[in-house]
Chain A
Amino acid sequence: MSDRLILGIESSCDETGFGIVRLGPDGSLELLADEVASSVEEHARFGGVVPEVASRAHLEALVPTLRRALDTAKVELSQIHSIAVTAGPGLAGALLVGVSAAKAYAAALGKPLYGVNHLAGHVAADTLQHGPLPQRCLALLVSGGHSQLLLVEGGLANSITEIGSTVDDAAGEAYDKVARLLDLPYPGGPPIDKLAKQGNGCAIAFPRGLTGPRDAKYDFSFSGLKTSVARWVERAERAGEEIPLADVAASFQEAVADVLTAKAIRAAKDLDVGTLVISGGVAANSRLSGLAAERCAEAGIELRVPRPRLCTDNGAMIAALGAHLVAAGAKPSPLDLSTTPGLPVGTVQIL
């Protein structure tokens, strides 16, 4: 069999992504294009993603972003073999724009359509950089929208089980809220990371959520941490102390990275899994990847973190997941496919 070109479409949050991946006869993946239009700046003054603003931006960005992806890959739409689109989880109105367009592209071109899971896409992104996944691996997904620990067995098209997730805020959400508290811009991840580098992560002992002996072993909680940072800052202000911003940022970041990596390593040991993949927007955080590298090396676990561009939401990861499904001989989704804002991670494809 010859090469097959897979188009991936992503619109679950505030990035409109079109990616094109070449699936080789041997199952190898080659990334040909990864074009993203982001509405992040339009959300900045609201301190978080405004769904209607994101949906409007997706509609505007569709046609030009696909055009750029085709130009970058130097292919025509008619050469596309299959189309994959994020069908969930995500913002309802935002998902609907991408899925509506994907259906129209598939119908007009007479190509198969795969409605896929955004979270599985984040794991698939890593295979664009590091090749096929081992038979069993753990994936830690951390971003503004998700914090999950997943067990992937027998490949992405086969089985994904959620073994842990956040019980309140996503990790990235906690970053955004703490950034606001420290008067740093939205999104909060990059400015906190930068400021933390000048601070001492051990200066303030912020709490580690859900790490007690009776707590859920693999679940996360970041809401208490955020509150605790707020209380600490308020107390210092009342006492008329100068706020050591860099130390607060570093100590907050240390608490997040400590809990995420400790739980991931513990799960890997408990489940006897030798590989950890970290993906999602927060994977780019320097302390998280640094601490994960340290602890994985100690525990003899292979760590895979895709480059930052592949970690954030994009169409390439959806194209990669589509390629895994096509390679596995999966049946296409029907054209009356629904979007599913609360799609569970175990459902890799909507049929």
Chain B
Amino acid sequence: MLVLAVDTATPAVTAGVVELAPDSPPRLLAKRVTLNAKAHGELLTPHISDALAEAGKSYADLDAIVVGAGPGPFTGLRVGLATAAALGQALNRPVYPVATPDAIARDAASGRPLLVATDARRKEVYWAAYDAAGRRTDGPHVERPQDLAGKLPAMGVRQATGEGAEIYAEVLGLELLQAKHPSPEGLVAAAAAEVLAKARPAALTPLYLRRPDAVEPTGRKRVTRA
């Protein structure tokens, strides 16, 4: 099966064309990745077109789309989801959302309990925890790294990966692994079972984890007689 993978939940603008077959790991045919947290909107679709061209494939050749559903900074995150949703509709192909840290955990493939933490800005991280078999055991959550650090001993996690883990390495005190942003193979691996089974995809709901910033006006002025 020919699968397109996209993710915009981290500063990486990620697009890749991946071959997926039963009983073998996803095989990357071509990818385009740019590190620029402000360019998701400009670059994602050109990256997809370029990756397809390099793979010698067209949009119509795609069998499915896998998209990172976050968590991640909202504005960038929505670019990937809007793009994937529109592609799915235009091509009449299923779109499978995956939690972005699940893809990063696949990439790290440490074989030991693992923490994935990405940068949530505002001095917080988005994090999820995985067991030795790579199954998610907790998260994703958004939290201050100091508060997360206090929970780590009980979780039995000694390794960490992701940009948030890197930025707050000292606070978290874990061994740092290299996987930083989700790879196309990691994204497809995280959805492989559903894609291969042609399962009905889950709703394309972003993992925001935070409410919108908005305050209701106070001191409302009443001039009508009650």
Chain A interfacial positions (CB closer than 8 Å to B): 45-47, 50, 52-53, 55-56, 58-59, 62-63, 66-67, 77, 92-93, 96-110, 180-183, 230, 233, 237, 242-243, 245, 335-339
Contacts and interface: CB of A to CB of B under 8 A. Distances in A.
B79 A100 contact: yes
Nearest to A67: B89
B41 A104 contact: no
B122 interface: no
Interface centre among B48, B84, B214 (most CB of A within 10 A): B214
Give the secondary structure class of B's interface.
Answer: helix
A-B pairs with lowest CB-CB distance, top 3: A52-B212, A104-B86, A108-B90
26 contacts: A46-B215, A47-B217, A52-B213, A53-B212, A56-B206, A56-B208, A59-B82, A63-B85, A63-B88, A92-B75, A93-B74, A101-B82, A101-B83, A104-B48, A105-B89, A107-B87, A108-B90, A108-B91, A109-B90, A180-B217, A180-B220, A181-B221, A181-B223, A182-B223, A242-B225, A335-B46
B189 interface: no
Contacts of B88: 63
Contacts of B84: 104
B75 to A, nearest CB: 5
Contact of B216 (A46, A102, A109, A237): A46
A335 B49 contact: yes
Given A93-B74, A336-B42, A107 B49 contact: yes
Interface centre among B41, B74, B216, B225 (most CB of A within 10 A): B41
Interface residues of B, number: 38
Interface in B64-115: 74-75, 78-79, 81-91
Contacts of A99: 41
Contact of B78 (A59, A181, A336): A59
A144 to B, nearest CB: 16
A183 B224 contact: yes
Contacts of A108: 59, 86-87, 90-91
Nearest to B95: A63
Interface in B36-65: 41-46, 48-49, 59
Nearest to B93: A108
B75 A93 contact: yes
Contact of A50 (B83, B214, B221): B214
Contacts of B215: 46
A76 to B, nearest CB: 10
B41 A55 contact: no
A198 to B, nearest CB: 14
Nearest to A9: B86
B200 interface: no
A97 B214 contact: no
Nearest to B215: A46
B217 A335 contact: no
Nearest to A56: B212
B90 A233 contact: no
B86 A62 contact: yes
Contacts of B87: 104, 107-108
Contact of A63 (B75, B89, B224, B225): B89
Nearest to B90: A108
A104 B83 contact: yes
Contact of B223 (A46, A53, A105, A237): A237
Nearest to B85: A63
B214 A52 contact: yes
B78 A55 contact: yes
Given A66-B89, A93-B74, A108-B59, A100 B83 contact: yes
Nearest to A236: B223
A180 B221 CA distance: 7
Nearest to B212: A52
B44 A100 contact: yes
Nearest to B222: A183
